[in-house]
């Protein structure tokens, strides 16, 4: 009989220690982040770690989790525990998915493919980012039959949106996550102080440069491309070479043809669509039979309207505090959204999930599953594929033990009675 992932992982670590081998990927979130910082460039670290403004929302996300206290129960036979859940037809071995995170090449050269392999090995769905460092086809191939979803940003071109969605379908993605809180980038002070935006260096635009609609449109940009003006500095040459590396083919040929620079310019023109409104959703609904989840929901009325528009799920998220500083914490937003949704569609939550207790608390308030973000990026930076795998295993283990020790044997039985607010 299996002792469950929690005890298995504990034994693995402790027995390793008894034989003289210690975890290379720190179990503690704070030590993990510090180790990742050492492994990354200052710009890469700032991009992942940072939030909008004074990072109040990031702190609030944590504080809101901590306001909810678990009330453990005893003598309830928790010898076998079922941690699995099903969300929009996808099975999760533990109730979390890996959030879509762009520009993973800044953490590790294995980038999206390394994360994909780790997620597949653990039976945890990976949400492939619209701003990925590798084309979705390549990442999907690394996953075999393991579950994956695709996250979409709605660009200025509906033709490009349709192309991304049909590529996601062909790549075996079983849901579309439409992120709606990033029609413009938030005011991110760490990145502004370093004057660094990865996309302008040709990073995180692989879904575009591998897309037939985008590549076709690039010819227009090439024709209009202004002759290269301004002073030639070392930094400018570095940027140009970086951009060239992002486009398929040889770097030198890409610099010569102007393709790489044009791709970045075209991306900047295409990426964002602040005019997006509810009526636009019909376009997406008609184009795919896959379940669609809206990500970035913080108001109950928006959750209800999403359902009226035929959406299949909502993700309560403030983008890890990267968009609106001073925004509501996701755990504070969750209860009223659960009430408005009234069980009609699944609700996921992300932003600040760091432990098994966080997963448990979100489920207790009515989430079906949560999204894990920054922690797996730190694992990637420290240990590549194995690092991500360790982070996933640790969270799975921590959740399994938290659930059992709280007196609950199955995710189905986690409910509002398992938590209370701090007096």
Question: Which pair of tokens denotes residue 46?
Answer: 């700032």
What contacts 105, CB < 8 A, 6 or more positions away?
111, 133, 203, 204
Min dist. Cβ of residue 177 to ligand FMN (A): 7
Min dist. Cβ of residue 182 to ligand FMN (A): 7
Min dist. Cβ of residue 323 to ligand FMN (A): 9
What contacts 159, CB < 8 A, 6 or more positions away?
213
Min dist. Cβ of residue 77 to ligand FMN (A): 33
- Closer CB to ligand FMN, residue 149 or residue 247? 149
- Closer CB to ligand FMN, residue 102 or residue 384? 102
- Closer CB to ligand FMN, residue 4 or residue 360? 360
Whole-angstrom distance, CA of residue 180 vs CA of residue 128: 16
Min dist. Cβ of residue 417 to ligand FMN (A): 26
The closest alpha carbon to 128, from 91, 89, 98, belongs to 98
- Closer CB to ligand FMN, residue 202 or residue 371? 371
Q: Which residue carries 């620079």 as its tokens?
A: 261
Whole-angstrom distance, CA of residue 115 vs CA of residue 404: 28
Whole-angstrom distance, CA of residue 342 vs CA of residue 366: 10
Whole-angstrom distance, CA of residue 312 vs CA of residue 308: 10
Which DSSP string corresponds to 279-314? GGHHHHHHH--S-EEEEEE-SHHHHHHHHHTT--EE
**Is residue 155 within 8 Å of 11, Cβ to Cβ?**
no
Whole-angstrom distance, CA of residue 285 vs CA of residue 282: 5
Question: Which pair of tokens denotes residue 370?
Answer: 């949560």
Helix (H) or strand (E) holding 391: helix 374-405
- DSSP symbol at 151: E
- Closer CB to ligand FMN, residue 175 or residue 259? 175
Min dist. Cβ of residue 252 to ligand FMN (A): 30
What contacts 303, CB < 8 A, 6 or more positions away?
297, 314, 337, 340, 341, 347
Min dist. Cβ of residue 319 to ligand FMN (A): 5
Min dist. Cβ of residue 232 to ligand FMN (A): 31
Residue 254 in 3-state DSSP? helix
Residues forming the active site: 319
With CB atoms as reference, the residue minimizing the distance to ligand FMN is 373
- Closer CB to ligand FMN, residue 198 or residue 404? 198
- Closer CB to ligand FMN, residue 331 or residue 353? 353
Binding site for ligand FMN (CB under 6 A): 47-48, 99-102, 129-131, 151, 179, 295, 317, 319-320, 322, 350-353, 371, 373-374
Whole-angstrom distance, CA of residue 177 vs CA of residue 102: 14
Whole-angstrom distance, CA of residue 199 vs CA of residue 83: 38
- Closer CB to ligand FMN, residue 105 or residue 385? 105
Residue 12 in 3-state DSSP? helix
Whole-angstrom distance, CA of residue 258 vs CA of residue 244: 9
Q: What are phi and psi of 186, to 5 degrees?
A: -70, 170
């Amino acid at each position: 009989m299996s002792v469950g992932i929690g005890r298995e992982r504990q034994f693995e670590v402790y027995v390793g220690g008894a034989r003289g081998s210690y975890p290379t990927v720190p179990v503690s979130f704070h030590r993990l982040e510090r180790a990742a910082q050492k492994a990354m460039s200052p710009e890469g670290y700032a991009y992942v770690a940072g939030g909008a403004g004074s990072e109040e929302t990031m702190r609030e996300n944590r504080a809101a989790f901590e306001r909810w206290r678990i009330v453990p129960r005893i003598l309830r036979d928790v010898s076998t525990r079922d941690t699995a859940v099903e969300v929009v037809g996808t099975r999760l071995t533990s109730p979390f998915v890996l959030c879509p995170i762009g520009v993973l090449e800044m953490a590790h050269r294995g980038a999206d493919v390394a994360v994909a392999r780790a997620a597949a090995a653990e039976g945890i769905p990976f949400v492939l980012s619209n701003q990925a460092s590798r084309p979705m086809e390549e990442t999907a191939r690394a996953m075999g039959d393991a579950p994956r979803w695709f996250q979409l940003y709605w660009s200025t071109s509906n033709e490009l949106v349709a192309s991304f969605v049909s590529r996601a379908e062909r790549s075996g993605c079983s849901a579309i996550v439409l992120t709606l809180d990033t029609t413009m980038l938030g005011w991110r002070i760490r990145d502004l102080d370093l004057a660094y935006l990865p996309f302008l260096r040709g990073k995180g635009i692989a879904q575009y440069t591998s897309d037939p609609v985008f590549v076709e449109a690039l010819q227009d940009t090439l024709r209009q491309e202004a002759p290269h003006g301004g002073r030639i500095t070392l930094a400018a040459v570095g940027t140009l070479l970086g951009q060239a590396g992002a486009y398929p083919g040889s770097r030198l040929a890409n610099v010569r043809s102007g393709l790489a620079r044009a791709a970045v310019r075209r991306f900047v023109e295409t990426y964002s669509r602040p005019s997006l409104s509810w009526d636009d959703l019909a376009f997406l609904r008609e184009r795919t039979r896959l379940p669609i989840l809206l990500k970035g929901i913080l108001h109950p009325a928006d959750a209800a309207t999403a359902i009226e528009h035929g959406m299949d799920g909502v993700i309560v998220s403030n983008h890890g505090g990267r968009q609106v500083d001073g925004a509501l914490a996701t755990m504070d937003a969750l209860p009223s959204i659960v009430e408005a949704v009234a069980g009609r569609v699944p609700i996921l939550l992300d932003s600040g999930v760091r432990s098994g207790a966080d997963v448990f608390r979100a489920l207790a308030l009515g989430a079906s599953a949560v999204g894990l973000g920054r922690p797996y990026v730190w694992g990637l930076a420290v240990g590549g594929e194995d690092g991500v795998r360790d982070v996933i295993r640790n969270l799975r283990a921590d959740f399994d033990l938290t659930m059992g020790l709280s007196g609950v044997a199955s995710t189905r039985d986690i409910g509002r009675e398992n938590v209370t607010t701090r007096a």
